[in-house]
Chain A
Amino acid sequence: MEKTPISVSDAIALINQTLEYAYPVIVVEGEVSSFKINQSKFVFFDLKDASGTLPCFMMAMQLRTPLEDGMKIRVVAQPKLTNWGKFSLTVRDIKPIGEGSLKRSFELLLAKLQKEGLFEDSRKRLLPRMPQRIAVISSTQSAGYADFMKILNHRWGGLDVTVAHVTVQGIDAPKQIVRALEYLNQMSDVPDAIAIIRGGGSLDDLSAFNDEPLVRAIASSRAPVITGVGHEVDTSLADLAADVRAATPTNAAMLIVPDRHEMMWYADQRLKSIMVAMQTRVQQLKLRVIGTYEQHLQTIDRRFAELSRHVQLRTAFVAQLDPKLALQRGYSLLYDAAGSVITSAKVGDQVTIETKTTKLTAGVTYVSKK
């Protein structure tokens, strides 16, 4: 019994439908060979092991990790028959596996992004001294998140904390973190800082933080980014692109907010410095007032002494004029009948003569002109 024939295109479509139904997604591990990028858009390579080879295809924009021949990788892919009848895997995700491949991939991306200046110190921004709004990208179930929040709440208060829950390990992690970063950066009120937090882990677990789009998203974030990826020994590329790298989630919380007890001490110190300034100023003014007062007193003293001297001189002068002094010296005073001192008289006048010891009345018998 012969089946109804179908066209070549329909046959390809039918096979692809069957493949999609049977294997919507397969995860394959192998070694990369014949890696090439065509027109900067299309990536081709073969995935092989000791006895088999599978051709792979993907769009260059989906390639999140640098590849080269010899690297061991794990791909998430969909098997497909092309219109040219060739079988290949259409790759959705790639993850280097094994220490050697992870390191190589790290080194390749590091060199590439370094060349672009993504890790330059001049790009780094300072975290605000006292943020009012921060965002945290983390898995809310992780120990790292719990550590971060515990220290954050212990150290500081009055903060608005927006939490974006994502998975922080596995092949999906970088995509989710990038989406969360984009979401937070598109908010009308961009946070003062964004913390990307996860606990520790093996180098393999950390590969999510060596993802190219994630590293780029961190570098281009509008809000400063602090990473607390929790791996003191190894630095991830996300750490290098971040504005601030914290060794652990706890350390990140310590760097992002000040300590409330230190700030209380700071407020006290400020007030104390103001009190010292006040006391110094009061002392200064007191000395100035006393100085001015003493200056006035000295002026008054000086003026008073001058006046005293003047009065003494005048008194002495006036004393010299006292007619009684003339009597003391042996002179006489001459009065008329009315008792007025006179300096001349005529014959027949009666005058009174006063000497030092007596008063006598005499008649004028002779007058001559001097």
Chain B
Amino acid sequence: MSAKNNPTLAEQIEQLDALAAWFEQDDFDIEEAITKFEEASQVAESVKTKLSELENKITVLKQRFDTEA
């Protein structure tokens, strides 16, 4: 589940880490920085929304383990 339009939480946190790392370099380009800053804001917002809304999907296997397969 890593479609570009629907990245997972883990992928988005990684994206945020990568963006923050970009800003750690010396003499970064300010025009590019503005675009990246906007991107980081959107990702951080989406991460926070997902974290507050997402629920876990629980599946109990129908497979029985009390007898030999």
Contact = CB atoms under 8 A, between A and B. Distances in A.
Given A130-B9, A277-B23, A267 B33 contact: no
A177 B65 CA distance: 8
A267 B47 contact: yes
A153 B61 contact: no
Contacts of B4: none
B59 A263 contact: no
Given A263-B47, A268-B44, A153 B56 contact: yes
Interface stretch (A26-34, A157-165, A307-315, A318-326): A157-165
A166 interface: yes
A157 B59 contact: no
A335 interface: no
A274 B28 contact: no
B52 A260 contact: yes
A164 B55 contact: no
B10, B28, B51 pick with most chain A CB within 10 angstroms: B51
Contacts of A140: 60
Nearest to A182: B69
A164 B58 CA distance: 11
Contacts of B68: 179
Contacts of B63: 164, 183
Given A164-B63, A270-B20, A157 B41 contact: no
Given A132-B8, A153-B56, A159-B56, A176 B40 contact: no
Given A164-B61, A164-B63, A271 B55 contact: no
Contacts of A149: 58
A185 B69 CA distance: 15
Given A157-B50, A264-B52, A267-B16, A130 B10 contact: yes
Contacts of B33: 277-278, 281
B13 A157 contact: no
Nearest to B50: A158
Contacts of B1: 132
A261 B60 CA distance: 27
B59 A164 contact: no
Contact of B44 (A183, A270, A277, A282): A270
B56 A157 contact: yes
Contact of B20 (A176, A177, A274): A274
Nearest to B66: A176
Nearest to B9: A158
B37 A274 contact: yes
Contacts of B36: 274
B59 A160 contact: yes
A260 B38 CA distance: 23
A207 interface: no
B9, B17, B59 pick with most chain A CB within 10 angstroms: B9
| 4 closest A-B pairs by CB | A157-B54, A158-B54, A277-B23, A130-B10
Interface of A: 129-130, 132, 140, 149, 152-153, 156-167, 172, 176-177, 179-180, 183, 260-261, 263-264, 266-268, 270-271, 273-275, 277-278, 281-282, 285
Interface of B: 1, 8-10, 13, 16-17, 19-20, 23-24, 28, 30, 33, 36-37, 40-41, 43-44, 47-48, 50-61, 63, 65-66, 68-69
Given A158-B50, A267-B43, 7 more contacts: A130-B13, A161-B58, A161-B59, A162-B59, A177-B65, A179-B68, A270-B40
